[in-house]
């Protein structure tokens, strides 16, 4: 009951009742939520573009452009964005995903005018100097080496993703293939920027200590004069049904083997999405989860084991499982153990205790995010991207409605033995 009270309390009130939402004449979507608990604000700009919007031969361009968004405009030169934010006591950062590119600044509320000016300026006036593009290319290349090519887990995940998707761009690595990063031209980057960095393809979200009506007027004055762009081209690719198991085996400098399993599953538009979210938590949500408790803690077969479901994915995506064998154990053993857990879900109903624990974990995570203005803003943006910020108000109800029978049904429906993609990484001798 305490959890429910927290969800219905002042910080967790229905989003639709408290958010000031507007769409400017140029198509910019604005979501504002007052939160006066501390004198700070989180100002975020989310562009509806990620690796799913890329073409073959130009993978990684969305992430590359994310780096270049900090390289200056005619008004604010290279590195001035971060310098001005830091001088005023704020923090800024950005990330690129399959579906979106997000930029945020967390700063004292009385500095909000500065952030509005900076973000509106780079939405329209990015320099994209060829020299800056050349130097940042080396930074992205090094990032790929560090996070993918020299990281066994990242390397294997990329390989499995590339075989799991034959048609859909979700099979591309977000950071891009190395050959593409080296080849992408300044003209291609400028064209990508002009296509996707337009107000009618963006969401501005602000949460913090301000008066929403005043901030909306400031956003309207500054962002509202940026011209509407053409509607970006839609992503038309649809992944065909998988016909048979797919498998990739690689050797890499590593201490231990790694096993990855992936199945195609629906996204949040499906009625099965809440059950898949609960299933992910039961299997891999912390130290009380089935995989950790059985494979890591009790039988000590694995050093780590987990799974993930992308609830907020725009298009149908993958349900992942992975495990790293303990020294002396083999990848083949862990693969069989992971598959045994999947088969058990189809034949044995989860216990009421497991089901209740998973639901409470998901609800608690939502409550804890309400304690952070940054996370509150991010949640509003994520729900807006998948269909509207008001969907946040129905999320917990959908989770609470999941039954043990639902879990067995979705496990049987989506985790067929002959529909999986498997990756095995063996340490190079």
Span 165-200, pLDDT tens digits: 999 999 999 999 999 999 999 999 999 999 999 999
Share of the chain above pLDDT 70, in %: 96
Q: Are residues 204 and 250 in the same domain?
A: no
Report residue 11 as tokens. Answer: 């910080």
pLDDT computed for residue 14 by the predictor? 63
Domain range for 155: 17-223
Torsion of CA 202, 205, 210, 212, to 10 degrees: 70
371 with 11: CB under 8 angstroms?
A: yes
The answer to whether residue 6 sits within a structural domain is no
Q: 66 an active-site residue?
A: yes
- Residues in the chain with pLDDT < 50? 1-12
β-bridge partners, 261: 321, 422
Instruction: Provide the strand spans (E) within 210-255.
Output: 246-252
The answer to whether residue 237 sits within a structural domain is no
SS3 85: helix
Torsion of CA 128, 132, 137, 138, to 10 degrees: -170
Q: Are residues 177 and 323 in the same domain?
A: no
307 with 284: CB under 8 angstroms?
A: yes
Q: Are residues 89 and 202 in the same domain?
A: yes
Strand 258-265 with 91-96, pairing: unpaired
pLDDT computed for residue 11 by the predictor? 41
Q: Are residues 178 and 250 in the same domain?
A: no
The answer to whether residue 127 sits within a structural domain is yes
Q: Are residues 80 and 195 in the same domain?
A: yes
Q: Are residues 68 and 152 in the same domain?
A: yes
- CATH code for position 203: 3.30.830.10
The answer to whether residue 232 sits within a structural domain is no
Task: Point out the catalytic residue in the list 34, 54, 66, 143.
Answer: 66
Report residue 220 as tokens. Answer: 């309207």
Q: Are residues 156 and 289 in the same domain?
A: no
Q: What is the chain's alpha carbon radius of gyration, rounded to the nearest angstrom?
A: 23
Q: Are residues 214 and 328 in the same domain?
A: no
Q: Are residues 183 and 252 in the same domain?
A: no
Q: Are residues 53 and 154 in the same domain?
A: yes
Tens digits of per-residue pLDDT, 219-263?
A: 999 999 999 999 999 999 999 999 999 999 999 999 999 999 999
Count the neighbouring beta carbons within 10 Å of the beta carbon of residue 341: 19
Among 203, 154, 195, CA closest to 55: 195
CA terminus-to-terminus distance, the chain: 55
The answer to whether residue 229 sits within a structural domain is no
187: Cβ contacts below 8 Å, ≥ 6 apart: none
The answer to whether residue 260 sits within a structural domain is yes
Q: Are residues 210 and 300 in the same domain?
A: no
The answer to whether residue 236 sits within a structural domain is no
* Vertex 200: Cα angle to 195 and 206 (nearest 5): 120
140 with 66: CB under 8 angstroms?
A: no
Taking the CA of residue 316 as centre, how many other CA atoms within 13 Å lie in the half-sphere pointing to its CB? Answer: 20
Q: Are residues 215 and 254 in the same domain?
A: no
User: Number of structural domains, the chain?
Assistant: 2
The answer to whether residue 90 sits within a structural domain is yes
CB-count burial class (<10 Å; 0-12, 13-18, 19+) for 385: buried
């Amino acid at each position: 009951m305490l959890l429910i009270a927290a969800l219905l309390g002042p910080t967790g009130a229905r989003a639709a009742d408290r958010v000031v939402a507007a769409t400017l004449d140029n198509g910019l979507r604005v979501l504002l939520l007052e939160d006066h608990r501390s004198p700070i604000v989180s100002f975020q700009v989310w562009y509806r573009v990620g690796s799913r919007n890329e073409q073959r031969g130009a993978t990684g361009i969305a992430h590359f452009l994310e780096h270049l968004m900090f390289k200056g405009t005619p008004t604010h030169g290279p590195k001035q964005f971060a310098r001005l934010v830091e001088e005023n006591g704020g923090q800024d950062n950005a990330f690129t995903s399959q579906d979106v590119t997000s930029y945020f600044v967390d700063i004292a509320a009385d500095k909000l005018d500065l952030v509005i000016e900076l973000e509106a300026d780079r939405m329209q006036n990015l320099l994209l100097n060829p020299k800056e593009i050349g130097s940042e290319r080396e930074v992205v290349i090094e990032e790929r080496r560090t996070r993918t090519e020299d990281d066994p887990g990242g390397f294997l995940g990329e390989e499995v993703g590339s075989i799991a998707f034959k048609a859909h761009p979700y099979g591309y690595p977000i950071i891009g293939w190395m050959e593409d990063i080296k080849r992408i031209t300044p003209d291609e980057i400028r064209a990508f920027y002009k296509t996707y960095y337009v107000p009618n393809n963006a969401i501005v979200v602000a949460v913090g200590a301000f008066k929403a009506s005043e901030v909306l007027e400031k956003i309207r004055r500054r962002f509202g004069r940026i011209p509407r762009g053409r509607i970006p081209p839609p992503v038309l690719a649809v992944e065909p049904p998988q016909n048979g198991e797919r498998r990739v085996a690689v050797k890499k400098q590593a201490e231990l083997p790694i096993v990855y399993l992936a199945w195609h599953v629906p996204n949040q538009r499906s009625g099965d999405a809440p059950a898949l979210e609960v299933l992910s938590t039961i299997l891999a949500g912390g130290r009380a989860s089935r995989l950790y408790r059985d494979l890591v803690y009790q039988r000590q077969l694995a050093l780590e084991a987990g799974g993930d479901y992308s609830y907020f994915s725009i298009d149908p995506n993958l349900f992942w499982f992975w495990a790293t064998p303990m020294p002396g154990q083999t990848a083949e053993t862990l693969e069989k153990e992971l598959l045994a857990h999947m088969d058990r879900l189809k034949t044995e109903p989860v216990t009421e205790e497991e089901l209740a624990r998973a639901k409470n974990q998901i609800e608690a995570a939502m409550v804890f995010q309400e304690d952070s203005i940054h996370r509150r803003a991010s949640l509003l943006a994520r729900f807006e991207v998948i269909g509207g910020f008001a969907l946040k108000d129905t999320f917990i109800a959908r989770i609470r409605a999941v039954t043990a029978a639902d879990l067995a049904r979705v496990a049987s429906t989506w985790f067929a033995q002959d529909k999986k993609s498997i990756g095995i990484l063996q340490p190079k001798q």
